[in-house]
């Protein structure tokens, strides 16, 4: 699962200061709830992404704590007003501590 490349879309990678950037992210993950049973009746253990964060040059922008009620292949959409040009870093962490990371570059003029 960790090898799945997350998909990120920014509506604008070059904005003027004060303008808003909309971010859409999608990552492949089963998001197993831990509430389902396999055909033999055994409980399938929980395995979800529990944290997502977005940082700009190391500064926190947006994040969330996911519970099992977030659908498989978590999708997030959010908006922010970047204060400076730089690297947006996206991080997803699952129950086994596996990190999925991606970066994007934005320019603020």
Partner 1 sequence: MSRRQALTAGAGAFAAGLGVAAAGPARAANDYAEQIRIFTGGKQPIEGRVKLELPELAENGNTVPMSVAVDGPTGDVHVQEILILAPANPNARVVRFRFSAMSVAAAATRIRLAETQDVIAVAKLSDGTFLSATRQIKVTIGGCGG
Q: Which residues bind partner 1 (CB under 8 A)?
A: 20, 33, 35-41, 43, 56, 59-72, 74-83
Q: How far is the CB of 32 from partner 1 (least distance, A)?
A: 11
Nearer to partner 1, 40 or 96 (CB): 40
Residue keyed to tokens 């699952």 = 94
Beta bridge partner(s), residue 106: 86
Main-chain phi, psi angles of 45, to 5 degrees: -65, 150
Q: How far is the CB of 59 from partner 1 (least distance, A)?
A: 8
Q: What 8-state DSSP symbol labels residue 106?
A: E
Nearer to partner 1, 20 or 103 (CB): 20
Q: How far is the CB of 27 from partner 1 (least distance, A)?
A: 12
Residue 56 CB neighbours (<10 A):
21
């Amino acid at each position: 699962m960790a090898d799945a490349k997350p998909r990120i879309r920014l509506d604008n990678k070059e904005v003027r200061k004060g303008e808003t950037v909309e971010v859409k992210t999608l990552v492949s993950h089963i998001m197993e709830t831990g509430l389902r049973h396999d055909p033999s009746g055994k409980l399938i253990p929980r395995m979800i992404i529990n944290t997502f964060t977005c940082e700009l040059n190391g500064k926190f922008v947006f994040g969330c704590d996911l519970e099992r009620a977030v659908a498989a292949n978590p999708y997030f959409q959010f908006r922010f007003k970047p204060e400076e040009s730089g690297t947006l870093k996206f991080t997803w962490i699952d129950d086994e501590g596996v990190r999925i990371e991606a970066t994007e570059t934005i320019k603020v003029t």
